[in-house]
Structure 1
């Protein structure tokens, strides 16, 4: 699966190297597509679904696209919601050979200091997640969150709890053991040591919903490499456990 801020899909789709990058993946999650309802994106052997930003100016901005190989069409179902921040797609368990379907949310959240900032964007995203988690066991969030989380812990750590006594066994569940069972690092790494307001809010969402950051924790990115201009980590993979 490819997760990429393409910063203008119409222009990028004209470059052979971009098409080659797409062709190396079955599932494509793109953000900042800067497309509108009049754009015609034609990438051979792929189907793309779009959630375009409603623009009040001549300058296109934002936008999300979810793409997949045509041969996967019968296994993919787009889940329609009102949120402009996320495009949801369900991938059949038959294709994945899992016990249940996987739901992927492709996310783009405008920067917190942007003219396109959406009030309570992360709260809106959390509400979307909560609604879908009622019916789906496996949920993954990917995309550009414009949230800097440093390397702070993203789950409630029992050892650091301020409560001396916790009677509810659910509250005592040690997710660090679960991460180890999944061959993930308990403490994730990140090259980006800074945080912003969105990052703090996103960490709270993780702790409240058993949502775990995969960056800096899984094979392929155990160092938490920069995702934006070699200076920050704002693009993430999250998994609901």
Structure 2
């Protein structure tokens, strides 16, 4: 909370699932940095990927009074200084940023296209990038200085915006409606190497606030030498499947691939904890059978506001009662 704010302003809160915390060591770092919460997530202990540093932040808008007593008036430049320290201390970790950045990026590129003798991208002395996934953005009328600073930050740290790049957000939906204006100012940004583990990104249309909630889905492969000692290490989902002969080949192919990739993990788990091994086998079959999932809402007589979260809570209640 800023003491010199003209109106009440909120802080930053980060909540972590206890189930995830049991699987992956997570700790807060750089507590001295202002206006952000930074977590070091040791994903490499369980998954076949690098550790991830998650940077949750709020950047005050351009011209905010909070910059009056500061030499640096650009909130994105302040974030740059923090990231420079982080990447120096943790050069192997992948970066993930989320928050209200008050940056309007219009159609600015957040990567450097291929440069050669006949084409040089702008006045920028950076290496070209192999990343070239197009980004859609409904807020394409105007940008701002923060937006230019943000894409420049992406160039330097080899990061890219998730908004407008995944099936759940093909059009680059607005994330904020305020002052009779719709804009995209809330972002998730990730290292290039992290994109291979991101399966989807979506902006919800709930109006609990003038900023809409948004989420992304990560999917990491387990390490081949991971030994699971706790029966709760593999969370089981309450899903409903319906066998379809037309999808049999897809199911078998997916199952074969999952068994091959997790074969060593499964053998080690069987030797150490047979109950966890049974859970792992169940998870493998569930993952392979996702092509045959039944969407509860299509067969439900629930009210229009009923969603997947309600289905999940109802199933948990049913399990607890029985």
Q: Same fold (TM over 0.5)?
A: yes
* Whole-angstrom CA distance in 2 between matches of 1:189 and 1:141: 19
Deviations along 1:36-64, one digit per CA (max 9) or x if unpaired, are xxxxxxxxxxxxxxxxx342479531411
In structure 2, the CA distance between the partners of 1:57 and 1:129, relative to structure 1 (3 Å rule), is closer
| Structure 2 unmatched ranges of 5 or more | 193-322
Match status 1:109 vs 2:56: no
The structure with more strand, counted as a fraction of residues: 1
On the 8 A contact 1:102/1:139 being kept in 2, the answer is: yes
1:82 maps onto 2:32 in alignment: yes
Residue 130 (structure 1) aligned with residue 81 (structure 2): no
Match for residue 182 of structure 2? Answer: 231
- Corresponding residue number in structure 1 for 2:9: 61
Separation in 2, partners of 1:228, 1:130: 29
Aligned-residue RMSD, C-alpha: 2.6
Partner of 2:290: none
**Quick one: distance in 1 between partners of 2:128 and 2:183?**
33
> Which residue of 1 is the match for residue 120 of structure 2?
161
Superposition TM-score, scaled by structure 2 size: 0.49
Check if 1:187 corresponds to 2:141: no
More helix by share: 2
Output the CA distance in 1 between the equivalents of 2:188 and 2:78: 18
Q: Deviations over 1:82-120 (max 9, x none)?
A: 221321012221576233221110010011132234623
Match of 2:130 in 1: 174
Show the counterpart of 2:226: none
Q: Could you list the runs of 4 or more consecutive aligned residues of structure 1 that deviate by over 3 angstroms after TM superposition? A: 56-60, 71-74
Where does structure 1 lack aligned partners over 5 or more consecutive residues?
1-52, 177-185
Task: Tell me if structure 1 keeps the 8 A contact 2:4–2:66.
Answer: no
1:222 and 2:170 are equivalent in the alignment: yes
User: How far did residue 173 of structure 1 move?
Assistant: 4.2
Alpha-carbon spacing, 1:95–1:190, altered in 2? closer, same or farther (3 Å): farther
Distance 1:162 1:222, change over 3 A: closer
Distance 1:174 1:116, change over 3 A: same
Asked whether the equivalents of residues 62 and 108 of structure 1 are also in contact (C-alpha less than 8 Å), the reply is no
Q: Which structure's CA Rg is the greater one?
A: 2
Contact 2:111–2:129 (CA<8 Å) still a contact in 1? Answer: no
Name the SS of the counterpart of 2:156 in structure 1. helix
How many matched pairs? 175
1:86–1:125 CA contact under 8 A, matched in 2:
no
Residue aligned with 2:182, SS:
coil
Look up the SS of the partner of 1:104 in the other structure. strand
